[in-house]
Chain A
Amino acid sequence: MKLKKVFFISIITLVLNGCGDKSSTDLTSEVEEAAPSQFFGIAGYRVGPYGPSGAPIATGYIDYLTLLNERDGGLNGVRLSWEECETEYNTAKGLECYERLKTRNPLGPTAIHPMSTGITYGLIDKAPVDQIPLITLGYGRTDASDGRVFPWVFPLMTNYWSQASAIVRFIETKEGGEKSLSGKKIVLLYHDSAYGKEPHEILKVEADNFGFDLVMIPVPHPGNEQQSQWMRIKKEQPDWVILWGWGVMSGTSIKTAKKVGFPREKMIGNWWSGAEVDTLAAGPSASTGYIAANMNLSGKNFEVVQEILKHVYQKGKGGDESYVGTVLWNRGVAQAMLTVEAVRNAQAKYGNTPMSGLQVRWGIENLSLTQAKLDELGFGGMVPPITVSCENHEGPGVVRFQQWDGEKWVSISDWVLGDQKLVRKMVEESAAKYASEKNIEYGCSS
C-alpha cells in the first residue's frame, strides 16, 4: 500500500513537472555564453537497430564544431553552440526533435540534417514556413535537387539517382570499357522499403541504354536472413550484384554471399551499405574484396582529421576516438563542414554575427567550394569540390569507389560521374510533377 502511495505521488510530480517550462533546459549544448552564438540543432540517432550507423555521423558532426571552437574560437568570432536530439530513426520522434530544436534559439537551429528520409519528407512542408534549411546528404527526396521547386531542401554532394548511374559507369569500366555491359546481368538486391525502391526507375532506363539484364530482388525488413534471396542470385548467375542495403541487411548480404560462394569483388554497395559497421558485421575477412560507392573517403590521412585529433581528442573533448577516420564519421565531419561553410558564406554577405535560417539558406545556395578552398580547409581529397546554385541543389553528383581490403577501406577509383543528363531530366520531371500537385511556382527569385 505504501508502495502505491509513493507511486501515486511520483506520478503527480511527474505530470506537474512535465507541464513546467522546459525552454530553460539546454543541456547537451555547450555552456551558454553571454555573447550570442551560432546554434546548431542536431537530429541524430545513436540507439536502436540503426544506432551503429548514426552514432559515428553525429560524433563527427560535433567533433568538427568542437574543432572550430577550440582552434579558431568559433566562426569569425561567433562561438558555435549545439544541442543533439535523439530521433531513433523514427519519423514521429524526429518531428518532435525538430519542433524542440526550433524553439531553442531565437535564430533557429541554423540548418537541420534530418538524417532519415522519412523525417525529411515530414519536414519538407514545414521548413519553408519556419525558414529552416534542410540539408540531406545522400538521402531524402531525390528530386529536391531541383532547387526551383524545393528552395529550402539541399541534397548536397550527390543523390541516389546520380549514385545508381555512377555505379553502372563503374561496372562498365571494370568490365572493360564501352559497350562491355551488353548482355551482362546485374542483380539489384534492395531493402524492401521506400528507400530500396529509389534506384529502380533509373536502373531500368540504364539497363535499356547499356543493354544489360536487370534483375531486382527485394529483401524484407530487417534482412537478417537472406537464404532465399541468395538462392535466387545463385540461380540467376549475375555478373554483378548492386547492394542497396541498410542496417543489419548489408552485413548479412555480404556474409550470405560468402555463404553461397558469390565473389565479394563482384558486389557493389551504395553509401548506406559501405561503412565499417557493415563489413565488421559480416566479419572483416568475409568482406574482403567488397566494393562500395561513397560520397566521401574514409581514413585519417586528411588534414582536418589530424587537426581534430590534435585540437579535440588530445584535449579530451572528443566523442569517441574509435570512430575517427571511419566512413561515417568522416561523413559527419563533411556534413558539419558544409553547414559551417554555408554560415561563413552568409556571414560574408550579412556580417559576422549569428546567422538566421533565411541567411543560411542564401549561404548554402551560393556555396562554392573549389579544390583550393577544400585544401585550405583540410578536406582536399576527402570530398569533391562542390558548387551549388538555385537550379542545382545537388552539386557535383560524383561518387568514389572504395574496396575493403580485410582491415580498412581503400579507394580504388577517381570521382565517377554518372549520366547527369539523364539524372537531371528525371529530377526535373519528378519535381515538376510535385510542383503541379502542390501548386508551387517555379522560381529562383530569392
Chain B
Amino acid sequence: MSFFLEVLIGGLLAGIMYSLVALGFVLIYKASGVFNFAQGAMVFFAALTFVGAQEKLGFPIWAALIFSLILMIILGVLTEKVVLRPLVNQPPISLFMVTIGLTFFVEGLAQLMWGTKVYPLELGIPDEPIAITLTRWGLNTDAVPNVLKEINSFDLIAAIVAGTLVAALAIFFQITRVGRALRAVADDHQAALSVGIPLKTIWAIVWSVAGFVALVAGLMWGARNGVQFALVFVALKALPVLILGGFDSVPGAIVGGLIIGALEKLAEVYIGPYFGGGIEIWFAYVAALLFLLVRPEGLFGEKQIDRV
C-alpha cells in the first residue's frame, strides 16, 4: 500500500511538471484561439538563453534571469506583430501551422545564438528524497510518515512554483485591468474590440506572459534534464494534459496534469510489466482520448454548441 501511495504521489508531482508546460499553451489558446505548438520550443529557448547568458556572456544569475525574461518578451511581442497579426481571421489550422513554422524558427534561433551543447543547470534546489534534505538541515524526520519521506524535494518546490504561478495568474486575470480585458478578449474578440479594448496590446501581453511561463517551465525542466535540445519534447508531455483539462482552462491544466501524471505512473508500474513496459508514452494519450469520448470538450473546456 505504501508503495502504491509512493507511486501515486510521485505521479501527481510529475504531473505538476507537465502542468507547468501546459499552462503556456492554455494562456495563448484562451486569449487568441491559437494552439501554439511553439510552446515547447519557447521552453527550450528560454532555458538555453538563461544558461547561455551565464556561460557565454558571464552574467550573474539574476541578470541572466532578467535578460532571458526580456528576450522572451521581445520574442512574444515580435511573434504577435510579425507572425500572428497578418493572419487575423484565418482559420485555426493556418494559425496552428504557422506556430509549427515558428517552432523550427525558434529552435534554430536558440541554437544559432547559444550553440548546440548540453549545459547543466543548477538552481540550488536539492533533488533528492525530502527526508535526506531535512536531515541535512538538521531536522528530525522521525515524526514524518514514511510515505512522505520519499517525496522528492525538487518536485515539492516545483509544485509550489506551479501553485504560485496559477495563483498569480488568477489574481492577474481577476483583479487587474489588463486581466479583465484579457478575459473579455478570450470571451469574444469582436465584442471586446467594439468596447474599445486594444486587442493587439492584449495579445502582445499574453504572448509575453506565455514567454514568462515558458521560462519558468524551462528552468524547472532544465534543472532536471540539463539544458539541451531535447527540452522541446516536454511539449509532448503537455498535450494529453491539455486534452484532458481543456485547451482554455487554467485550472484544467493543473488538474489535468495531476490526473495524467498519476494515471501514467500507476499504469506504467502496475500494468506496464504485463505488456513489456514502456506504455506510458501512449497511455496518457489513450486515457485522455477515452475521457474525451465521454466529454468531448475536456474537463473544464468550454462546451461548443453547434448551430446551422
A interface residues, Cβ below 8 angstroms from B: 46-49, 51-52, 55, 192, 216-222, 224-225, 227-229, 231-232, 235, 247-248, 251-252, 255, 258-261, 277, 280-286, 322
Contacts and interface: CB of A to CB of B under 8 A. Distances in A.
B226 A47 contact: no
Interface string B91-125: 00000000000000000000100001111111000
A222 B129 contact: no
Contacts of A52: 116-118, 228-229
A65 to B, nearest CB: 21
A51 B234 contact: no
14 contacts: A47-B229, A49-B230, A49-B232, A55-B116, A219-B278, A227-B265, A232-B268, A232-B273, A251-B118, A252-B224, A259-B128, A259-B152, A280-B120, A281-B226
A49 B118 contact: no
B74 interface: no
B225 A224 contact: yes
A258 B128 contact: yes
A230 to B, nearest CB: 9
**Which 10 A-B residue pairings sit nearest by Cβ, starting from the closest?**
A281-B226, A248-B230, A220-B281, A228-B268, A218-B278, A192-B278, A51-B116, A218-B277, A228-B265, A220-B278
B10 interface: yes
Nearest to A235: B3
Given A224-B233, A261-B132, A251 B116 contact: no
B145 interface: no
Nearest to B150: A260
Interface of B: 3, 6-7, 10-11, 14, 17, 111, 116-122, 127-129, 132, 150, 152, 154, 221, 224-226, 228-234, 237, 264-265, 268-269, 272-273, 276-281
Given A227-B265, A251-B226, A251-B228, 20 more contacts: A47-B111, A47-B116, A47-B229, A51-B116, A218-B278, A220-B279, A224-B233, A224-B234, A228-B10, A228-B11, A228-B280, A231-B265, A258-B128, A260-B152, A277-B118, A280-B119, A281-B225, A282-B120, A283-B226, A322-B117
A251 B232 CA distance: 16
A446 B48 CA distance: 53
A229 B3 contact: no
Contact of A280 (B152, B226, B231, B276): B226
B11 A283 contact: no
A30 to B, nearest CB: 24
A224 B237 CA distance: 9
Contact of B14 (A227, A260, A261, A277): A227
